[in-house]
Amino acid sequence: MSNDNTKNLNLSSLLESTMKEVLKEKVEFILQEEIKEVLKNEPVGQNNSRNGYYPRTLDTVYGRVEDLDVSRDRNGEFQTELFEPYKRRMVAVDELVIQLYRHGVGVRQVGKIMKSLLGDSYSPGTISNVTDTVLQDIREWQNRPLKKRYCALYLDALFVNVRRDTVGKEAVYIVLGISPEGNREVLGFYIGGRESSNGWSEILNDLRERGVEQVLLGVFDGLSGLEDAFLRAFPKADVQRCVVHKVRNTLNNARKKHQPELAQDLKTIYKADSYEEAQAALQELKEKWKKTYKREFESWENDLPVLLTFFKYPKDVQKYLYTTNLIERLNREVRKRLKTMDSLPNIEAAEKIIYMNVSDYNDRWARRKLSGFGLAKEEFNDMFDERYDEK
């Protein structure tokens, strides 16, 4: 090893040692001040007093602090605010573990990282116990009351490898809503089995039980039976089939040399200024491509009512309504976190990662409105009132 590398290692070791000593001194000082304050404020006649110290080891984000002197009182009643009784880790250490897990770092890899910080390996069981504290939050979040009105609900599923007896793909159903004010919110996610209209029916009924009553529009792809399931739950809502999915399917059926021209042509339909212009554009394209892609354009003609529903809505927000892009962006981020783990040991492990990511997005989205919804607010209010007879 070169002299420079040796010097760097020695310097790093010295800094780490110094940081732990400083931290030990500060923690012990806080403990002494805490017990002094507690004893000072005790009722007259308690006759309580200090009773020395007891040693303990404490894991911190700066490493492991050995032989920490923890103050104690004669009555055994004093408890510090810094850490819980018998707990070897400060909250910041648990938070670090949870954040690593949130970003898709597997339990074994988290253990290795904690070993490099603390000099002792954390077992997969320990890491799971730390992250299990999130499970109670998940249950509360999944049962929280929801708003009454949503301009649009976006439904989409992604798939994750989960070990039961064997490793298999499980559907993760995700519902994203947009409030009349333009805030996005993940209303819920649900894991299990293969994607099906029956699975979506259960989810949509759960949303109703949690308070969702008035929905103007459902945006999703063409899964068989999904439209019927959605309209059973929200019979006064409209349905918007994702135009981008329809374009992709059309291009997949086209010859490669035709795909660029066909993609530009299809834009004239969903980028038109009105429903009537979109219909006219479709007829022109049907005539143009009738010899090559007759079946594809007949399919567009059959699906046109549910592909162009967005034209009924305020122009300022139409760009958000004709596609599931909003929820697909979220799904890509969740999938990225899950991808680092080849397979998850159980449903709870998948739930923890997904929850930590979607709750983070919800916090950010609560402070940020989609553009155009402010201008469309009155129009949306009128649509809700008219459709749900609230005038």
Question: 252-281 pLDDT, tens per residue?
Answer: 999 999 999 999 999 999 999 999 999 999
Q: Which of 26-30, 52-56, 227-231, 247-251 has the lowest mean pLDDT?
A: 26-30
Q: In this structure, how many other beta carbons lie within 10 angstroms of the beta carbon of residue 142?
A: 15
**Which residues have a Cβ under 8 Å from the Cβ of 188 and sit 6 or more positions away?**
142, 174, 175, 203, 206, 207, 210
The pLDDT score that the predictor gives to residue 92 is 46
The pLDDT score that the predictor gives to residue 91 is 42
Residue 391 CA to residue 388 CA, distance in Å, equals 9
- Tokens linked to 72: 């104690």
* Residue 239, strand partner residues: 218
Residue 129 CA to residue 265 CA, distance in Å, equals 55
The pLDDT score that the predictor gives to residue 314 is 96
65, pLDDT greater than 90: no
80, pLDDT greater than 60: yes
Residue 344 DSSP label: B
What pTM was computed for the model? 0.70
Among 147, 153, 150, CA closest to 173: 153
- Looking at every residue in the chain, the average pLDDT score rounds to 81
One-letter amino acid identity for 109? Q
116, pLDDT greater than 60: no
- Tokens linked to 272: 């038109």
The pLDDT score that the predictor gives to residue 73 is 79
Q: Which of the two residues, 311 and 169, has the higher pLDDT score?
A: 311
| Residue 26 burial (C-beta neighbours within 10 Å; 0-12, 13-18, 19+) | exposed
118, pLDDT greater than 80: no
Q: What is the dihedral of CA 205, 207, 209, 212, to 10 degrees?
A: -120
**Which residues have a Cβ under 8 Å from the Cβ of 61 and sit 6 or more positions away?**
90, 92, 93, 96, 117
Among 59, 54, 55, CA closest to 67: 55
The winner for highest mean pLDDT among 87-91, 111-115, 345-349 is 345-349
125, pLDDT greater than 70: no
What is the mean pLDDT of the segment spanning 284-310? 95
66, pLDDT greater than 80: no
* Distance set, CA 391 to CA 40, 146, 253, 382, 385 (Å): 63, 23, 48, 9, 6
Task: Show the DSSP H helices in the chain as ranges.
Answer: 3-40, 91-102, 107-118, 124-131, 133-142, 197-209, 226-233, 243-252, 259-270, 275-288, 290-307, 318-321, 325-339, 347-365, 373-387
Among 117, 45, 14, 31, CA closest to 79: 31
* Distance set, CA 303 to CA 136, 168, 222, 315 (Å): 44, 34, 10, 21
The pLDDT score that the predictor gives to residue 70 is 77
Residue 283 CA to residue 288 CA, distance in Å, equals 9
Looking at the chain, the whole-number percentage of residues with pLDDT higher than 90 is 48
Q: Which of the two residues, 327 and 163, has the higher pLDDT score?
A: 327
Euclidean distance between the first and the last CA atom of the chain, given in angstroms as a whole number: 81
The pLDDT score that the predictor gives to residue 40 is 74
Residue 70 CA to residue 164 CA, distance in Å, equals 45
pLDDT band at 21 (very low <50, low <70, confident <90, very high): low
- Tokens linked to 307: 């592909």
